[in-house]
Amino acid sequence: MQFFHFPPEYREIDVLQEQPGRRLVLLENQKRKQKLLWRCSNRGNGDVYESLCGIDHPNLRPVYDVCSEGNTVEVLEEYLEGKTLSAVLQERTLKKTEVKQVMIGLCQALEALHGLSIVHRDIKPENVMIGEKGQVWLIDYDAARVMDGKEQETRVLGTPGYAAPEQYGVTACENTADIFAMGVLLNMMLCGEHPARKMCHGWAGHIVRKCTRMEPKKRYRSAARLQKACRLLPGATA
């Protein structure tokens, strides 16, 4: 069932993804020549998207409208021109300056999300977009939830290897779950391996180890603190 009814000037260009419980469609407003992304999912969290609706942040995908009923959430978002970090990493190795830029951009995105009491819970290369001019966006909030610090996780959401231990129902999931994934992501960008198999050296290795501590309280306590550490990574100042 579709809740959104688009005016005639909206034209469907392409179906970007279609699988059970999830559909992504690229639309174009022919009057404004603006591309938009329509998302329909039975795994999304309407409260998260409603909190993000109207938020203008350089590292988050703009959300324009949200409609939810039961477990079904429909979202109208801006279409971003660029490639996923996953696609970029398949093509080439990132320069240290680029790794630093990605980490700082994602930290800024997380500061905004965590400031709204939202934990992303699925940070991975597929959910990071890199623009043609080097912009960095954290995308796809279907696994995100509003933090309350009380409820233990009852279903596993996230990606194995990137998901923190508490996302498997060990304890309540907080912003430090995203910090864990950021450490794994940094290691993957620099070494091409999960830190459990190969750890980065030097200051980057220190950051990865602190991010991926098993106990959440031993990780960086905020995205702002992680960003401060990432600004000391080799490379030009972002």
Supply the residues annotated as catalytic. 122
CA distance 25 to 38: 5
Q: In Å, what is the CA distance from 107 to each residue of 41, 144, 146, 155, 171?
A: 26, 16, 18, 26, 23
Here the contacts of 170-175 (C-beta below 8 Å, separation 24 or greater) are 171/216, 172/148, 173/119, 173/121, 173/145, 173/147, 174/119, 174/147, 174/149, 174/216, 175/110, 175/114, 175/119, 175/147, 175/222, 175/223
CA distance 209 to 187: 10
C-beta separation of 52 from 60 below 8 A: yes
